[in-house]
């Protein structure tokens, strides 16, 4: 996988927004998979700024969700549907029709998971999948020991993830759902270009294990090593435990600009 070390979160957001812009100029109706949480916000802000300035035409872009809480009503401000509409779809000037996600309030959750996995394939597959990483190494909500071949399904969040996410629920862990629907690791690996952004010291261990450790389900993000075109963008703090940091810096510095990410 390619590892790009950037000075800070803003620079990471700019770099990835550039990659999305390049994709949209090649394929205006690209299907863009989006993550939620704090990390990708600089990407969405940078991309929205490009759209506002006219540098990028995102009018035909299609957006799909990576995961969703189970049991929150769709209109709940912290349902990932609401978050993606607020942080991505609206700022890019898109309509809800350009957006797809799993139904976290479905009565038949299993059927909703299977339907979403199928819908992604029928939409032509995800062209570029944005990912964050949990402090426990999860991608999407594939918690440690998720099958590396998993498809979209229901998962139970670890206590650590619920603690990490309590900040979105008035710091009240009792409000954080226990269950989620998440694209599986196998589903994520079918995306044409997964790009993981990690920022801050709290992610340094997970990043080091993802990039330099063995492929192992205990660190779900390490499955990205199996993808022929996976990119990991990290700020200096998140890169601080990488043994090969200097090599990654030198490699990127010598990369021809035309290659992009
Ligand atoms: C969210 C998601 C999660 C987050 C991860 C990091 O859609 O899939 O994997 O990316 O929990 O969250 P933040 O960015 O808030 O640290």
- Token digits of residue 48: 């929205």
Is 67 marked active-site? yes
Q: How confident is the model at residue 93 (pLDDT cuts 50, 70, 90)?
A: very high
Is 227 marked active-site? no
Strands (E), the chain: 2-6, 31-34, 62-65, 67-69, 99-100, 128-131, 153-156, 179-182, 194-198, 231-235
Ligand 1 centroid, distance to 165 Cα (angstroms) = 9
pLDDT at 26: 97
Where in the chain are the domains? 2-151+181-256
Give the residue among 7, 65, 22 at the shortest CA–CA distance from 191: 65
Write the pLDDT tens digit of every residue in 111-138. Answer: 999 999 999 999 999 999 999 999 999 9
Q: How confident is the model at residue 100 (pLDDT cuts 50, 70, 90)?
A: very high
Nearest atom in ligand 1 to the alpha carbon of residue 165 is: 15
pLDDT at 73: 81
- Pocket around ligand 1: residues whose beta carbon is below 6 Å from it? 35-39, 66-67, 132-134, 138-141
Ligand 1 centroid, distance to 207 Cα (angstroms) = 13
Give the residue among 136, 156, 120 at the shortest CA–CA distance from 205: 136
Write the pLDDT tens digit of every residue in 29-59. Answer: 999 999 999 999 999 999 999 999 999 999 9
Helix runs in 30-150, H state only: 41-53, 80-84, 109-122
| Count of helices and strands (H, E) across the chain | 8, 10
- Least reliable range by pLDDT among 73-82, 110-119, 157-166, 238-247: 73-82
Second CATH level (architecture) for the domain 2-151+181-256: 3-Layer(aba) Sandwich (3.40)
Is 236 marked active-site? no
């Amino acid at each position: 996988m390619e590892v790009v070390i950037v000075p800070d979160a803003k620079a990471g957001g700019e770099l990835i927004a550039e990659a999305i812009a390049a994709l949209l100029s090649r394929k205006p109706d690209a299907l863009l998979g989006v993550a939620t949480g704090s990390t990708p916000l600089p990407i969405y802000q940078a991309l929205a700024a490009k759209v506002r300035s006219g540098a990028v035409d995102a009018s035909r872009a299609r957006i799909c969700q990576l995961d969703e809480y189970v049991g929150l009503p769709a209109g709940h401000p912290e349902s990932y549907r609401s978050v993606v509409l607020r942080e991505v779809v609206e700022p890019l000037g898109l309509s809800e029709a350009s957006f797809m996600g799993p139904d976290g309030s479905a009565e038949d959750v299993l059927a909703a998971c299977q339907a979403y996995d199928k819908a992604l394939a029928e939409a032509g597959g995800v062209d570029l999948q944005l990912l964050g990483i949990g402090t426990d190494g999860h991608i999407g909500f594939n918690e440690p020991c998720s099958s590396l071949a998993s498809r979209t399904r229901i998962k139970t969040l670890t206590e650590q993830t619920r603690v990490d996410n309590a900040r979105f629920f008035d710091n009240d862990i009792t409000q954080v759902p226990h269950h989620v629907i998440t694209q599986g690791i196998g589903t994520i690996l079918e995306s044409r270009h997964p790009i993981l952004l990690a920022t801050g010291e709290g992610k340094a261990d997970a990043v080091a294990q993802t990039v330099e450790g063995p492929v192992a389900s205990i660190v779900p993000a390490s499955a990205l090593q199996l993808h022929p075109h996976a990119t990991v963008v990290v700020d200096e703090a998140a890169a601080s435990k990488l043994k090969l940091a200097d090599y990654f810096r030198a490699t990127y510095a010598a990369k021809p600009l035309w290659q992009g990410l």
